[in-house]
Structure 1
Amino acid sequence: MMLSTALSPALFGLANLTDIYFDDYFKTVTPCQIGVLTARRVEEIIKEKALWGLLSKQLMFVYNRLYHNVMPQGTPTAYEMIRQQLIKLMEEEVDYRHSVTAEKYIREKTRLSRSGVMRILAALKTGGFIEMEEGKLIKINKLPAKY
């Protein structure tokens, strides 16, 4: 399941500095340079440069995003999950938004079935609530609160 997206430059793995086992992964959608530091080296840099305050702000940002985007708030309906992900997809960088289909973006962040996602996207497109070309989200006109 996709937990998050990020723009460059970005740091990953700071919340896992003390974990031995790290089973997450990330994938890039555009060419980029990736650097890797050991946990020990990161800790040394943080101490040398007195970056504990900056690190705490980064961790607060990550946990805030996790809490609001991943942790379920009640039990949302399939439509509510799709609606939320469509709004988040519109907030993504244009190049990224045009490189991924709305269905794929939604399914990577939820555990909804492809047929269910496609059915709701088709209804939203037919109703004029969203504009899509070749499966890619172009514009949200106005999404109803309920489906």
Structure 2
Amino acid sequence: MKTHLTDNDVFEHYFSFAVQSKPIKAIEKIFSHLLPYGKKIQLKKGKHYRINEEDEGVGLLLITDGLVSFINTDTGHFISTLYPPTIIGLSHGYNAFYNVPDSLRSTLYAETDADLIFIPLQTFIDTVDKQNLWHDVARILAHRIVTLMNKEKTYIGVDSYSIIKSMIQEVWLYPDHYRLQISLPKFIQNRSGLSRSRIMKILFDLKLGGYVNIVNGKLLSVSKLPTSY
């Protein structure tokens, strides 16, 4: 997944940073060793998958296609949007392997049709040990921590317009074939906790001002968004 330069002030966005700094070589190296042991899972748009609670059992998931949201099962809070190639379940695997109490409960939500590969936990551990891949795993985890820290700065202590603006910028960075499957108002509401009426009012005013073009909920274009509302 690649970003592209536009006239929008989006290149400093946390999601843009996440895409540009993603340790692709480390992920692809791990993928190449794990894929032969995987079970394919097709997750249709709008469907959920509960990590370590489905028929496949305890293990990790590789995203090979599609956009998937990562959700805290207990609170319903949307944590992040994941895009291929991505490895999911490293922290869950740690908790399961070491029997950590009060383990994480997370759910995946398919924003688009998505292709996943399930890898049993013990297979993952044995493969990473055998192929000496723990340095690559560490790079992936470090990137994830830094990305979450950058995201925190984006959303904490800001007003509703700033939140909506940031989410518009994020969606605009998605490849067209993913972005055009997403309902922007629903995407914003799920992640922000803002009322639908507030979201629709701000989106309507941005469209009226010529800053965005939204048709049937789909974001078709963005020009430089105002600093404030």
TM-score, with structure 1 as normaliser? 0.88
1:30 paired to 2:113: yes
| 1:3–1:70 Cα contact (<8 Å) kept | no
Mean alpha-carbon deviation: is it higher for 121-130 or for 108-117? 108-117
- Find the aligned partners of 2:192 and 2:210 in 1 and give their Cα distance: 24
2:213 is paired with a residue of what secondary structure?
strand
- Find the aligned partners of 2:169 and 2:155 in 1 and give their Cα distance: 17
Q: How many residues align?
A: 146
Structure 1 counterpart of 2:150, from 68, 90, 98: 68
Residue 115 of structure 1 is matched in structure 2 by 197
- RMSD, aligned α-carbons: 1.8
1:19 is paired with a residue of what secondary structure?
helix
- Find the aligned partners of 2:155 and 2:182 in 1 and give their Cα distance: 26
Mean alpha-carbon deviation: is it higher for 65-74 or for 99-108? 65-74
Question: Is there any run of 5+ residues in structure 1 with no aligned partner, and where?
Answer: none
Residue 101 of structure 1 is matched in structure 2 by 183
Q: Which amino acid aligns with 1:11?
A: I
C-alpha distance after superposition, 1:89-134 (max 9, x if no partner)? 0011211211111111112221111111111111111111111111
Greater percentage in strand: 2
Residue 84 of structure 1 is matched in structure 2 by 166
- Find the aligned partners of 2:91 and 2:152 in 1 and give their Cα distance: 16
- Find the aligned partners of 2:84 and 2:109 in 1 and give their Cα distance: 13
Question: Is there any run of 5+ residues in structure 2 with no aligned partner, and where?
Answer: 1-76, 97-102
After superposition, the Cα gap between the structure-2 partners of 1:84 and 1:73, relative to the gap in structure 1 and judged at 3 Å, is closer
TM-score, with structure 2 as normaliser? 0.59
Percent of paired sites with the same residue: 23
Q: Which amino acid aligns with 2:85?
A: P
| 2:78–2:191 Cα contact (<8 Å) kept | yes
- Find the aligned partners of 2:87 and 2:118 in 1 and give their Cα distance: 10
After superposition, the Cα gap between the structure-2 partners of 1:56 and 1:92, relative to the gap in structure 1 and judged at 3 Å, is same
After superposition, the Cα gap between the structure-2 partners of 1:71 and 1:25, relative to the gap in structure 1 and judged at 3 Å, is farther
| 1:107–1:114 Cα contact (<8 Å) kept | yes
Structure 2 counterpart of 1:57, from 139, 149, 153: 139
